[in-house]
Structure 1
Amino acid sequence: MSEISKICVFCGSSDGNDLAITDAAERLGTYFAKNDITLVYGAAKIGVMGTLAKATLDHKGNVIGIIPSFLKKKEVVHLGLTELITTENMHDRKLKMQEISDGFIVLPGGFGTLEELFEIITWLQLGLHQKPIGLLNVNGFYNDLLKLLETMVRKGFLSLENYELLLVDNTVENLVGKMNSFKAPQLPKWLNDSRA
């Protein structure tokens, strides 16, 4: 049994045009169900999000959806989830996701997915949580993003330690294994309450 019991997944509300991404979402949902990991996600029934939720539910897994009230339209929201939580706004949605999850996985998506990834990893960097964050690099989707992060390290805007907070793999099993082995870093000295 996995050490992580609830994983929040950030991913697209569109399907995209690469079937490998749809397949990866189905594999991830199936893996969650078979390993007693509850899926926490944005509650949509469309796109990669919907595929992921359907695969989890089809294999008798548990799915918690969290959605802000302004997005709770019948053509968007999945009403067949194990639990549906409605929040006042987007910020409260992300806060609730962070509070109830043991870790995070990022699948391919657009602006919203990247925004969620960077906010949650910034919170880890600042010591606001100590949970693992995994990037499932399906079919090289995030190769260019990873190159950009390497450039940020080389140019002195991102420390190597913080770069390594993002766990990356192209298989579900290996990524979850890395997440289970994750050890959160100590807070940087400049964030320590006891500093002079």
Structure 2
Amino acid sequence: MRVCVYCSSSSAVPAVYLETASQVGTLLANRGHELVFGAGNVGLMGAVADAMHAAGGRMVGVIPRRLYERKLAHSDIDELIVTETMAERKAEMERRAEAFLVLPGGIGTLEELVQVMTLRQLAYLEQPIVMLNTAGFYSLLLEHLQRLVDEAFMRAEFLDLCVVADMPAEAIELIEHPRELVMPEKWF
């Protein structure tokens, strides 16, 4: 399965996040999955890719030219795609993905998560979305999503757009055995 992993490009994060990213890369490779990612050689992206490569996994990296020219692409990628814009990068990753796995990350990762959730909500995507809530990283976001439901900004069923795992092995299981979703109309 082609698994698109969204995650941080920061290497300054606490070690638990980098260690978890490495575990994800190893698990994906050992279970025969292909990694689709932002091609980065830094942060959690680099940790996932390093572990994936060490375990013999196949990687497809998608990177905008501006970042490629700054030498931020991982050197061991099997297939490197250079796009002109961030929007093209996201579209290419979405097109190739059979599942999405979201690890901790910053603004870019949050934007990618919200985009695929929105696309799934509107039935533009059917692929499963799994959020890895390492050390409770996404707990406040999950509380905010519940508030959206409580205050009628979102239907309760849309909380299921993304399933949450606390451990890497659990996240991979959720990708491999996704729940079937039946989504209502977005509008109340």
- TM-score surpassing 0.5? yes
CA-to-partner distance for each residue in 1:118-143, whole Å, 9 max, x for gaps? 00110000100100000000011111
* Distance verdict in 2 for CA 1:148–1:68, change over 3 Å: same
Choose from 57, 61, 64 the match for 2:57: 61
Dislocated runs of 4+, deviation >3 Å: none
Matched residues, percent identical? 35
State the TM-score, normalizing by the size of structure 1: 0.90
CA-to-partner distance for each residue in 1:48-67, whole Å, 9 max, x for gaps? 11111000001101111001
* Distance verdict in 2 for CA 1:186–1:160, change over 3 Å: closer
| 8 Å contact from structure 1 (residues 7, 104) kept in 2 | yes
1:164 is paired with a residue whose SS is helix
> Pairwise mapping of residues 23-102 of structure 1 onto structure 2 (< 5 A)?
23-102=19-98
CA distance in 2, matches of 1:16, 1:148: 26
CA distance in 2, matches of 1:185, 1:100: 23
Structure-2 residue corresponding to 1:164: 160
Structure-2 residue corresponding to 1:121: 117
CA-to-partner distance for each residue in 1:102-131, whole Å, 9 max, x for gaps? 010111110000000000110000100100
Structure-2 residue corresponding to 1:106: 102
Structure-1 residue corresponding to 2:178: 181
CA distance in 1, matches of 2:166, 2:184: 29
CA distance in 2, matches of 1:49, 1:108: 10
CA distance in 2, matches of 1:13, 1:189: 33
2:69 is paired with a residue whose SS is coil
* Equivalent position amino acid for 1:130 in 2: E
CA RMSD between the two structures: 1.5
Unpaired segments of 5 or more residues in structure 1?
191-196
State the TM-score, normalizing by the size of structure 2: 0.94
Structure-2 residue corresponding to 1:137: 133
CA-to-partner distance for each residue in 1:128-187, whole Å, 9 max, x for gaps? 010000000001111111111111110111111111111001112222222322214256
Rg larger in 1 or in 2? Answer: 1
| 8 Å contact from structure 1 (residues 127, 187) kept in 2 | no
| 8 Å contact from structure 1 (residues 126, 187) kept in 2 | no
2:127 is paired with a residue whose SS is coil
CA distance in 2, matches of 1:47, 1:17: 8
* Equivalent position amino acid for 2:179 in 1: F
Structure-1 residue corresponding to 2:10: 14
Number of matched residues? 186
